[in-house]
Amino acid sequence: MGWLNWFMSFEHAKPLALLILFATFVLILIYVFGNKRRGSRLESYKDMPFRDEESDTKEDRIK
User: In this predicted structure, what is the pLDDT of residue 62?
Assistant: 59
| E strand or H helix that includes residue 42 | helix 36-44
User: In this predicted structure, what is the pLDDT of residue 2?
Assistant: 75
DSSP state of 48: G
Task: Judge whether residue 63 has pLDDT over 60.
Answer: no
Q: What tens digit of pLDDT does each residue of 2-50 get?
A: 777 776 777 778 888 899 999 999 999 898 888 878 878 878 888 888 8
For the entire predicted model, the pTM comes to 0.53
Q: 13 Cβ partners below 8 Å, 6+ apart?
A: 7
User: In this predicted structure, what is the pLDDT of residue 37?
Assistant: 84
What are the φ and ψ backbone dihedral angles of 33, each rounded to 5 degrees? -100, 5
In the chain, where the domains are located: 21-47
